Amino acid sequence: MGIGKRIGIMGGTFDPIHFGHLVTAEEARINFELDKVIFVPTGKPPHKKDYEVTDSEHRYLMTALATNNNPFFEVSRIEIDRKGYSYTVDTLNQMVQIYGKDTSLFFISGADAVLDILTWKNIKEVLDICTFIAATRPGYPINKLKDKLEEIKRLYGKDVYLLEVTAIAISSTDIRRKVKEGRSIKYLVPEGVEKYILKNGLYR
């Protein structure tokens, strides 16, 4: 790797990955002049989900299918192959080992996740390693988020950058529900992901 690379890291369960994730990653890449964005499907999420998370191999393969036509996107197995819970701090430390300390890491996250950021494991270390980009959508209630960003700045002296992403109100929860109800998910996910979900009987 050359000196001074700027790499975006986009973590998530991606259950399933959809166009909202892809648009967010591309807008972050352009706005923050990133050399590439690495998608990191979660292995075993430490925060309990209110549904059973789909097997990690399915989620990895769907993410690979969704990103394979963008030369600036990659998918990493770091968290999937790691035993135990997936913590962002461990992933970031591994990324530093892989890409070197001259690389600037940008962690791309949804605004809702940023509201919980102070509960994350070793958050001071996380904020020292990377710059956070909080993606919002038009109409998002921004005041609560701004209060949280001011608190992060006060406690840790770190800025979190806001990125308003084109209005794509798509959620993985809605996609799973549509599949379960036998409704169409066309134009919500890339065609390859739609075919993979149907072929493997996911979310039924």
Q: 65-74, 116-125, 137-146: which has the minimum mean pLDDT?
A: 137-146
Residue 42 is part of which domain span?
6-169
Range 10-16 average pLDDT: 96
Find, among 67, 89, 62, the residue nearest to 78 by Cα. 89
CATH of the domain at 143: 3.40.50.620
Residue 51: inside a domain: yes
Residue 202: inside a domain: no
Residue 31: inside a domain: yes
Q: Give the span between the Cα atoms of 177 and 1, in whole angstroms.
A: 42
Q: With 50 as the cut, is the pLDDT of residue 111 above it?
A: yes
Residue 80 DSSP SS3: helix
Residue 179: inside a domain: no
Residue 184: inside a domain: no
Domain count, the chain: 1
CA atoms within 13 A on the CB side of 172: 23
Confidence of residue 2 (pLDDT cuts 50, 70, 90): very low
Confidence of residue 137 (pLDDT cuts 50, 70, 90): confident
Q: 19-31 vs 56-67: helix axis angle to the nearest 10?
A: 60
Residue 200: inside a domain: no
Find, among 41, 8, 11, 40, the residue nearest to 26 by Cα. 8
Find, among 75, 55, 54, the residue nearest to 65 by Cα. 75
The b-or-e profile of 100-136 (16+ CB within 10 A means b, else e) is eeebbbbbbbbbebbeebeebeebeebbebbbbbbbb
pLDDT score for 4: 82
pLDDT score for 88: 94
Range 69-89 average pLDDT: 95
